[in-house]
Amino acid sequence: MDEVIRVEGLTKNFGQLQVLRGIDCSVSSSEVVCVIGPSGSGKSTFLRCLNGLEEASGGRVLVHGVSVHDNSTDVDALRSEIGMVFQRFNLFPHMTVLDNITLAPTKVRGVPLEQAREQARALLIKVGLLDKIETYPNQLSGGQQQRVAIARALAMQPAIMLFDEPTSALDPEMVGEVLSVMQTLAEEGMTMMVVSHEMGFARRVANRVLFMDEGVLVEEGTPEEIFDRPREERTRRFLSNIL
Amino acid sequence: MEPILWFGWFRADIIAEYGVMFWRGLQMTILVTVICIAQGTALGLAIGLARLAEARHSPARQICRYLLRWPSTVYVSFFRGTPLFVQILLIHFAVLPLFINPADGLLISGETARSLKQNYGAFISGILALTLNSGAYISEIFRAGIQSIDRGQIEASRSLGLSFARTMYHVVLPQAFRRMLPPLGNNAIALLKDSSLISAIGLAELAYTARTVAGAYSRYWEPYLSISLMYWTLTLGLAWAVKRLEARYGRGDTR
């Protein structure tokens, strides 16, 4: 299978604090990988290292064979291939939903505005928010904002989508609408890496689950292996705490 | 001219007699203010960005620190830490002759320098001093405005593949500008009033006109009350314009 991301011995320190202590893994095309683990286990930092939002302290991250943290790498070009969805949505509040979505395609890719708008409409239909096209983000609910954020990332037609706890900042009744958009994406064959506390989603949608604790990748396997027959004691303890 | 008395004591005829001079002074005050707001904003943006310049890898890292951050910090500290009045005198009598001097100007010398200094010396110095001074204040407004934008905005933009410059231009500055409008408006009003200090080096703006009229008639209420009302009208107009801008750029923040 075509490998999208390869991580080799990735470490990350914040001063004295070791957040990542040598992570190795890879993600293949069309794979959905969920990263679970207790808070402070380094999941988000790990994800943010993948598109260079965080500098790595050691090891390397290859996206389509290109090293993310190399000085000579055009990190902007690389990031345009990697969609990212944040916990706090981070929509641009001074732009309409439409402009949020068309900004990157027109400025980074040079897509003609009309074409970018056409694509934005298609994406908004997909996330069920076409009627909000001229709205400003602050007039939307959290769930709606997150769906727009997903559409915004998709507009760059990325090779992989990274989700950093996409439902953690949402009211419970809005979690479902975001997860169902993500599930549709997965079913369409999008390569995805999801940091999440939504175990139901991981079990239903993921091809593979990674369990992280204290900056280490403790265990990985299919959802059945991780949730039903965890090999490691730490995984068992974590799962019994949350389920 | 026959004295015209308003309210029994205000000699309106003096103002009428010097009407043209007041009008020119008013125009000069407005011209200086507009030029200095425009230049001060451009300079303030550049200095503000220089104070925030950071890079991860050498040599860009050292360049940012020693060629951008340090000089801009010293610059801001100096122009905010010394009186504007002293800066005007320093620039007019010490700095300008260094560059524009009939004998040995570093920039311009000879006959051109002589006529330039004679006709526009005070104007050039005044504009220069006021621009440099307001640039220092405005850079702090820009810096605070840019720093007030949530890091998540920058991360979202960068992760879409927008470069640092594009992120600044499309994402950070438009949001920062909205927040900076009130302090920028205050700064513009301060600048308008401070332009009166340039009268000390002989630029014929409003305050200079008032002084001239006062000297000619030994009357003080008439000229100074008149220009006070003119300044007041101008500052009220500026405050109104800033309000309009705030409303226009407030799109999207219904909070």
Q: For the whole model, what pTM was predicted?
A: 0.83
Q: Reduce the DSSP state of residue B220 to 3 states and report it.
A: coil
B228 in a domain, yes or no? yes
B59 in a domain, yes or no? no
Determine whether the interchain pair B252/A95 forms a contact, defined as Cβ–Cβ distance below 8 Å. yes
Q: Tell me what ipTM this predicted complex has.
A: 0.94
A90 in contact with B, Cβ within 8 Å: yes
Q: Which residue has the higher pLDDT, B93 or B54?
A: B93
Contacts of A82 in chain B (CB under 8 A): 159
A86 in contact with B, Cβ within 8 Å: yes
Question: Would you state the pLDDT for residue B22?
Answer: 96
Asked whether the beta carbons of B92 and B100 are under 8 A apart, the reply is no
B93 in a domain, yes or no? yes
B69 in a domain, yes or no? no
Q: Closest approach of chain B CAs to the CA of A84, in angstroms? A: 6
**DSSP per-residue letters across B39-67:** HHHHHHHHHHHHHH---SSTTHHHIIIII
Instruction: Report pLDDT digits (tens) over B42-70.
Output: 999 999 999 988 877 778 888 888 899 99
Determine the structural domain holding residue B32 and report its residue range. 5-52+83-247
Q: Closest approach of chain A CAs to the CA of B254, in angstroms? A: 6
Alpha-carbon distance of A33 to A4, in angstroms, equals: 12
Alpha-carbon distance of A12 to A19, in angstroms, equals: 6
β-pair type (A160-164, A192-195)? parallel
- Provide the residue type at A89 as one letter: F
B252 in a domain, yes or no? no
- CATH number of the structural domain spanning residue B135: 1.10.3720.10
Alpha-carbon distance of A61 to A217, in angstroms, equals: 15
Asked whether the beta carbons of A53 and A215 are under 8 A apart, the reply is no
B230 in a domain, yes or no? yes
In chain B, how many domains are there?
1
- Provide the residue type at B206 as one letter: L
pLDDT at B251 over 80: no
Give the CA diameter of chain A: 55
Sheet order of strands, A32-36 included? A82-85, A160-164, A192-195, A32-36, A208-213, A216-221
B104 in a domain, yes or no? yes
Q: Closest approach of chain A CAs to the CA of B111, in angstroms? A: 51
- Provide the residue type at B223 as one letter: P
Instruction: Report pLDDT digits (tens) over B174-212.
Output: 999 889 999 999 999 999 999 999 999 999 999 999 999
Alpha-carbon distance of A79 to A68, in angstroms, equals: 9
Determine whether the interchain pair A82/B57 forms a contact, defined as Cβ–Cβ distance below 8 Å. no
Other Cβ atoms closer than 10 A to A228:
11
Confidence grade of residue B255 (pLDDT, cut at 50, 70, 90): very low
Contacts of B169 in chain A (CB under 8 A): none
Question: Along the 243 residues of chain A, how does pLDDT read in single tens digits?
Answer: 689 999 999 999 999 999 999 999 999 999 999 999 999 899 999 999 999 999 999 999 999 999 998 888 899 999 999 999 999 999 999 999 999 999 999 999 999 999 999 999 999 999 999 999 999 999 999 999 999 999 999 999 999 999 999 999 999 999 999 999 999 999 999 999 999 999 999 999 999 999 999 999 999 999 999 999 999 999 999 999 887
The count of residues in chain A is 243
A34 to A37, A240, B153, B236: CA distances (angstroms): 10, 18, 25, 59
Alpha-carbon distance of B148 to B131, in angstroms, equals: 25
Interface test with B, best of A54, A75, A90, A163 (most B CBs within 10 A): A90
Question: Would you state the pLDDT for residue A119?
Answer: 97
Closest partner CB to A104 (pick from B57, B162, B252): B162
Determine whether the interchain pair A82/B159 forms a contact, defined as Cβ–Cβ distance below 8 Å. yes
Compute φ and ψ for B176, nearest 5 degrees. Answer: -65, -40
**DSSP per-residue letters across B90-125:** HIIIIIHHHHB-TTT-SSB-SHHHHHHHHHHHHHHH
Q: Closest approach of chain A CAs to the CA of B36, in angstroms? A: 29
- Which chain B residues touch A if contact means CB-CB below 8 Å? 56-57, 150, 152-153, 155-163, 166, 170-171, 174-175, 178, 251-255
B208 in a domain, yes or no? yes
Q: Which residues contact A4 (CB under 8 A, 6 or more apart)?
A: A27, A28, A29, A31, A63, A64, A159, A160, A191
Side-chain half-sphere of B141: how many Cα atoms within 13 Å?
A: 23
Angle, vertex CA B105, rays to CA B102 and CA B110, nearest 5: 30
Determine whether the interchain pair B57/A91 forms a contact, defined as Cβ–Cβ distance below 8 Å. no
> Lowest mean pLDDT: which of A216-220, B36-40, B54-58, B139-143?
B54-58
A71 in contact with B, Cβ within 8 Å: yes
